[in-house]
Structure 1
Amino acid sequence: MTGTAFTDFRTPRSVLFMCRMNAIRSPMAEVIARAALPRGTYVASAGVRHGERDPFVDVVLEEIGLSIGRHQPRTLDELEDDYFDVIVTLAPEAHHVALELTRSMAVEVVYWPTPDPTVAMGTREQIVDAYRAVRDHLSALILSRLAGNGLRKGA
């Protein structure tokens, strides 16, 4: 973890998930967090670079009753708001950019290393399994570190 941890264990009021292209990991985390966090929590996602929507994200989210809706990948420059209680980075490049952007801001930056499922090879089922693993990894982290108990030290 980078930065200081929340000491009052509250659920953050606003969360930004960042990855490289806002096509897989960060939008998946955004959708899962919206479902898991209390109503009124502002959740967004963005990428360091512009990406293309990935249809496998729809497949694995629909399996757990969630939908990415009309989400289109967006960069940090395209965000409507730029203040967040916590920024969760999911890829090394995003983490470095977040640290640089928040150098003079009172915002928590947390790094959750998350594999890129696009590197998976094999059958369609093997590829979808890689996306499922990312979905399940993000769900577990969101539920254990953000939902209910808030961001905990060591997150």
Structure 2
Amino acid sequence: MSVQPHPADSAPPEFLQLAAHPVRWRLLTELARSDRGVSELTQRLGEPQNLVSYHLGKLRDGRLVAARRSSADRRDTYYGLDLARLGDLLSAAGGALHPGLRLSRPLREAPPRRARVLFLCTGNSARSPMAEALARARSGGAVEAVSAGSHPRPLHPNALRVMREMYGLDLAAHASKPLQAYADQSFDYVISLCDRVREVCPEFPGDPQTVHWSLPNPATGEPDEVTYPLFQETAAELARRIDFLIAALADRAPAA
């Protein structure tokens, strides 16, 4: 009687082979928490910069990590993780062993206790007010989200439009605020959304988790109709990242 080969007899998925290297796994772990530069990753891993750069290159080739030039200093590069793609790859890898191992946990499971999150960008006119509205709506109110900017400007018309058209959210009442408005308040997470504001972000009381999402500014100064697609891309990226943030908050132990 011939023995039919089982799928598990084949080579492991390429994703697992790529991620299994200890240095690459540590890089993925760091980038799952926050976008980071090479020098920062070198410090956190305690490895030589050439080794870190080599393994980042491998992860980029495998489309697990993306790179973007810093808007604060064009000589620097921020690396970030596509968590949605990684989730799909992990689910597929589990499913290759058994259908029951495919990931099925809902991303937006409500956090066990109310969480406070502060979103920061330069103008508090586009990225951070959109993030604030999305975090509130997509958590069902379980996230108390606020936003501020280092140099506040009026809400951009495309931020108002994209939130209304893509997510049914109204930002008309948004009033841009300076960082100092929240200087004495405690948060669970402080999330910077642009590279410039990360450089000037003050320390907040209560030892919050500090996270950086290196997102380009969709307000490029061009006409609104030209930049609207950029606002759509930014809003979609914020929604993806916020869903994973909500999952991280839901994973916390309930308050005693």
Q: Give the TM-score band, short-chain normalised.
A: 0.7 to 0.9
Percent sequence identity over aligned pairs: 26
What secondary structure sits across from 1:138 in the alignment? helix
SS in 2 for 1:116: coil
List aligned pairs for 1:114-133, cutoff 5 A. Answer: 114-119=215-220, 121=222, 124=225, 126-133=226-233
SS at match of 1:14: strand
Could you say which residue in structure 2 is the equivalent of 1:23?
Answer: 125
Q: Which residue of 2 aligns with 1:108?
A: 209
Q: Which of 133, 138, 142 pairs up with 1:36? A: 138
In structure 2, the gaps of 5 or more residues are 1-33, 37-109, 252-256
Tell me which residue corresponds to 2:237.
137
Distance in 2 between the 1:50 and 1:19 partners? 9
- Give the aligned partner of residue 172 of structure 2: 69
Of 31-40 and 126-135, deviating more is: 31-40
- Structure possessing the higher radius of gyration over alpha carbons: 2
Q: Secondary structure at the match of 1:17?
A: strand
AA aligned opposite 1:36: R
- What's 2:26 paired with? none
Q: Which runs of 5+ in 1 are unaligned?
A: 3-9
Runs of 4+ more than 4 Å apart: 120-123
CA RMSD of aligned residues (A): 2.8
Against the structure 1 CA distance between its residues 40 and 101, is the aligned structure 2 distance closer, same or farther, given a 3 Å change threshold? same
1:16, 1:45 within 8 Å by CA — same for their partners in 2? yes
Paired position in structure 2 for 1:146: 245
Match of 2:3 in 1: none
Looking at structure 2, the residues matched to 113 and 40 of structure 1 have their Cα atoms a distance apart, in angstroms, of: 25
Matched pairs, number: 143
TM-score (norm 1): 0.79
Q: What corresponds to 1:5 in structure 2?
A: none
1:40-51 counterparts in 2 under 5 A?
A: 40-51=142-153
